[in-house]
Amino acid sequence: MQTFSNANAGAIVLSLAERIIENRAYLSEIDGKIGDGDHGVNMAKGFGMAADRLKDKETTLSEALDTLGTVLMTEIGGSMGPLYGMMFTEFAEKLDGVPAIDATAYSRMLHAGLEGIQSIGSAKVGDKTLIDTLAPAIEAFDGAISSGKSFSAALDALIAAAEAGRDSTRDLVAKIGRASRLGERSLGVLDAGATSCAIILKELSLGARSRLA
């Protein structure tokens, strides 16, 4: 059975931060079409602060996720800070004390993140939010595992479903948050939260896949 080691995998969070910071302008640009236009700047600020605290340290994945979650939760504000903060701290909690992370632990982590977000936010699939990326990605991962695919193949399925989920927001009308005010005008534009969530899930899963043994 494939697993990856929790120890020293904190570097995955650093590369996560790098991807978010690289996409800062892009995320703000798509946010600007139907939102405030500050998603990229705020995300880059939070992920950058977490990366500063983690760099040059060897941490477990769960420790690094906890640092990231705490920074987002306590220092970013708005709705995205608490929502992503909740997701990452839930991720961290489920991996804490798991030395070798297998598909079951990874799935447990993802579910905890989703439940954490749903415990403080009210979005459902189809509302044009990050849930449209996260929920189908988890479903695809679980589906792949239960149909006998390897951890590695399931991670690929997760990434593909996250990106498809992100793309699905283009055809959705925003039901929640400030973009909901635009009604039909929010059609044809990606949701910024769904887009950042796809970046996060992809980088996390690529990091996990490259460490599988």
Q: Where do contacts with another protein occur on this chain (CB under 8 A)?
A: 24-26, 28-29, 32, 36-38, 40-42, 44, 55, 73-79, 81-83, 120-122, 178, 181-182, 185
Residue type, 57: K
Return the axis-axis angle of helices 39-54 and 61-75, rounded to nearest 10°: 130
Cβ nearer to another protein, comparing 76 with 197:
76
Cβ nearer to another protein, comparing 100 with 120:
120
Report the candidate in 77, 78, 113 with the shortest Cα–Cα distance to residue 94: 113
Q: Give me the numbers of helices (H) and strands (E) for the chain, helices first please.
A: 9, 2
Cβ nearer to another protein, comparing 40 with 113:
40
The distance of closest approach from Cβ of residue 14 to another protein in the complex, given in angstroms and rounded to an integer, is: 11
Report the candidate in 13, 16, 39 with the shortest Cα–Cα distance to residue 26: 39
The distance of closest approach from Cβ of residue 92 to another protein in the complex, given in angstroms and rounded to an integer, is: 16
The distance of closest approach from Cβ of residue 146 to another protein in the complex, given in angstroms and rounded to an integer, is: 34
The distance of closest approach from Cβ of residue 55 to another protein in the complex, given in angstroms and rounded to an integer, is: 8
Cβ nearer to another protein, comparing 79 with 150:
79
The distance of closest approach from Cβ of residue 172 to another protein in the complex, given in angstroms and rounded to an integer, is: 17
Rounded Cα distance between 48 and 46, Å, is 5
How does DSSP classify residue 125? T
Helix (H) or strand (E) holding 101: strand 100-101
Cβ nearer to another protein, comparing 58 with 75:
75
